């Protein structure tokens, strides 16, 4: 019973306290995981967005420098040698420009900062906006690009200024972008060409002119650019403001799981991708999650242990009362329970002890009354058992007075007196055995009862009986004793003194 009630109590504690705790722990772990994941993704997005803004400002600065130079060349009406000198001095002052070449409206070469024949040529795409050519790697394995800027005056094209720009500083800028200890950024051109990578171990991919057009994020940014261009909203800000899908988790070539986010550069149409191993990105989250699970598990086990302990302390008084009731039921009325404290169980224990005391007193009263009744029955039995022998002796004495001269009757008288005194002796021995009980030997007793009828002097009938036992002893009963003969025999049978009694009764002739 204790185990059953204790188990139920523990289940009650589990339902009332542990279940909400487990539910709270599950919700907390899920919220922590989702919140930390979103926080890490948002942080990496911010890094990518800031890097995209820096790259955009970096390229806009070079374009604005070329635009300022083009304005000076257009408005000053300089001679060719003067234009050459200005371009040469400009290249010397700005090391980022490797070569500057000026072309006329018809595409003919006007002047260049390079000694000898220029390397730069006009691109096939000659629009009204600055054109940035695909990235190339020079002999020093450094990235360069060509920027073509149209020169206009009164909405008429006066020529083009083409400059070769070194992007070495762009590499340094990307190298400085770090996300944790193992997260790096990379820049991908509009055609998918990898032009910069912050991981030194991955820079060989630039020299190999690796194309990342199939990268999921690069393809997603290109698709959004196409969609926004068709919708007339060709701005990278719209892409970055709606970048809920510009992050993925994938496995790289060496088996690492990476978290990758992307941000678009407005001009030029490049893409900044920030990648970080998930083990580092979500490392703190996983650590906090493990700590939270451990704390919740410890709290759960502690709650169950306390519930089991308090359950046992709650059940212990019930077990004590059960033991006491079983003792009382088995007859040990002196048994008492000891329940400490001042609560209801203590009061119940005191009531139980009071009940046991009263039951003990009641049992003593019953025993006292039984003893009194037993003594009464013994006294009645003594009166009954002694009255017959005494009465038989008295009857025999009265007859001996009348039949003293009858020698046969005197022998009968002697036998009757001896038998009755033997009966009285047996009664006295039975009284002695009350204080010292002796085992009763069950035996078979057979005796014969003979009835006699005689006439008195006044002619009345008188009845008597003679009981003959297997020992050839006789017991003569007068008429007053005949009525109790059957009752006494039945009492002897009920008392199991004899296993079987064969009573033969016949009337004498």
Element (H, E) at 487: helix 479-494
DSSP-derived secondary structure for 113-164: SSSSS------S---SS-EEPPPEE-TTS-EEEEEEEEEEETTEEEEEEEEE
Q: What is the mean pLDDT of residues 374-387?
A: 79
Element (H, E) at 63: helix 19-75
The pLDDT of residue 319 is 79
Q: Give dist(CA 132, CA 145) in Å, integer.
A: 7
CA dihedral 174, 179, 184, 190 (to 10 degrees): -60
Q: Is the pTM of this model over 0.75?
A: no
Question: What are phi and psi for residue 29, nearest 5 degrees?
Answer: -65, -45
Pairing of strands 443-455, 498-507: parallel
Are 485 and 475 within 8 A, CB to CB? no
**What percent of the chain is predicted at pLDDT more than 90?**
5
Give me 32's structure tokens.
């922590």
Give me 53's structure tokens.
């803004």
The pLDDT of residue 477 is 47
Three-class SS of residue 402?
helix
Q: pLDDT tens-digit profile of 95-137?
A: 888 899 988 888 888 888 888 888 888 887 777 778 888 888 7
Q: What is the mean pLDDT of residues 426-450?
A: 64
185 confidence band (pLDDT: 50, 70, 90): very high
The pLDDT of residue 464 is 60
**C-alpha closest to that of 273 among 262, 264, 281, 265:** 262
Q: pLDDT tens-digit profile of 59-82?
A: 888 888 888 888 777 766 677 888
**C-alpha closest to that of 91 among 111, 75, 121, 77:** 111
**What percent of the chain is predicted at pLDDT more than 70?**
77
Are 449 and 505 within 8 A, CB to CB? yes
User: What's the whole-number average pLDDT of the chain?
Assistant: 77
**C-alpha closest to that of 97 among 109, 81, 114:** 114
Give me 110's structure tokens.
């006007």
273 confidence band (pLDDT: 50, 70, 90): very high
Q: Which of 271-285, 368-382, 447-461 has the highest mean pLDDT?
A: 271-285
Q: pLDDT tens-digit profile of 452-493?
A: 666 666 666 655 656 665 554 445 544 445 555 555 554 444
501 confidence band (pLDDT: 50, 70, 90): very low
200 confidence band (pLDDT: 50, 70, 90): confident
Residue 420 CB-density burial (10 A; 0-12 exposed, 13-18 middle, 19+ buried): buried
Q: pLDDT tens-digit profile of 172-183?
A: 899 998 888 889
Instruction: Write the DSSP symbol of residue 222.
Output: H
Rg over alpha carbons for the chain, rounded to the nearest Å, is 64
Are 290 and 246 within 8 A, CB to CB? no
Is the pLDDT at 367 greater than 70, yes or no? yes
Contacts of 348 by beta carbon, 8 Å cutoff, 6+ apart: 317, 321, 339
Q: What is the mean pLDDT of residues 46-57?
A: 90
Q: Is the peptide bond before 268 cis (omega within 30 degrees of 0)?
A: yes
Residue with tokens 């003792």: 327
509 confidence band (pLDDT: 50, 70, 90): very low
Is the pLDDT at 506 greater than 70, yes or no? no
Three-class SS of residue 42?
helix
Is the pLDDT at 238 greater than 50, yes or no? no
Count of residues in the chain: 509
Higher pLDDT, 243 or 126: 126
Give me 407's structure tokens.
């020698």
């Amino acid at each position: 019973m204790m185990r059953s009630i204790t188990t139920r109590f523990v289940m009650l504690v589990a339902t009332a306290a542990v279940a909400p705790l487990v539910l709270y722990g599950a919700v907390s772990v899920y919220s922590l995981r989702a919140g930390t994941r979103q926080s890490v993704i948002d942080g990496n997005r911010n890094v990518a967005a800031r890097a995209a803004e820096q790259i955009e400002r970096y390229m806009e600065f070079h374009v604005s420098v070329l635009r300022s130079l083009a304005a000076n060349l257009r408005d000053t009406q300089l001679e060719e040698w003067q234009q050459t000198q200005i371009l040469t001095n400009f290249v010397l002052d700005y090391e980022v420009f490797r070569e500057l070449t000026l072309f006329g409206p018809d595409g003919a070469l006007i002047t260049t900062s390079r000694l000898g024949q220029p390397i730069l040529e006009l691109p096939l795409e000659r629009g009204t906006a600055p054109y940035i050519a695909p990235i190339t790697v020079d002999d020093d394995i450094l990235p360069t690009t060509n920027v073509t800027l149209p020169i206009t005056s009164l909405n008429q094209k006066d020529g083009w200024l083409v400059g070769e720009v070194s992007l070495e500083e762009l590499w340094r800028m990307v190298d400085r972008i770090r996300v944790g200890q193992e997260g790096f950024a990379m820049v991908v051109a509009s055609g998918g060409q990898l032009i910069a990578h912050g991981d030194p171990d991955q820079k060989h991919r630039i020299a190999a002119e690796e194309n990342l057009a199939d990268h999921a994020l690069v393809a997603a940014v290109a698709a959004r650019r196409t969609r926004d261009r068709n919708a007339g909203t060709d701005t990278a800000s719209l892409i970055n403001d709606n970048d809920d899908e510009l992050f993925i988790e994938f496995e790289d070539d060496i088996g690492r799981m990476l978290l990758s986010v992307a941000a678009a550069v407005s001009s030029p149409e490049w893409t900044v991708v920030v990648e970080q191993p998930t083990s580092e990105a979500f490392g703190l989250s996983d650590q906090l999650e493990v700590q939270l699970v451990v704390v919740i598990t410890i709290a759960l086990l502690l709650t169950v242990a306390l519930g089991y302990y308090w359950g046992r302390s709650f059940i212990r008084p019930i077990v004590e009362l059960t033991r006491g009731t079983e003792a009382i039921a088995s007859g040990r009325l002196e048994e008492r329970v000891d329940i400490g404290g001042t609560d209801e169980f203590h009061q119940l224990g005191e009531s139980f002890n009071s009940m046991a005391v009263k039951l003990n007193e009641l049992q003593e009263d019953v025993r006292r009354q039984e003893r009194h009744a037993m003594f009464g029955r013994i006294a009645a039995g003594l009166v009954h058992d002694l009255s017959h022998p005494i009465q038989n002796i008295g009857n025999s004495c009265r007859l001996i007075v009348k039949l003293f001269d009858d020698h046969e009757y005197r022998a009968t008288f002697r036998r009757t007196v001896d038998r009755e005194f033997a009966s009285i002796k047996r009664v006295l021995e039975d009284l002695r055995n009350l204080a010292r009980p002796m085992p009763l030997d069950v035996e078979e007793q057979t005796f014969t009862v003979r009835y006699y009828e005689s006439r008195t002097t006044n002619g009345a009938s008188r009845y008597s009986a003679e009981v003959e036992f297997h020992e050839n002893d006789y017991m003569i009963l007068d008429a007053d004793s005949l009525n109790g003969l059957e009752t006494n025999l039945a009492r002897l049978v009920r008392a199991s003194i004899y296993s079987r009694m064969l009573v033969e009764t016949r009337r004498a002739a």
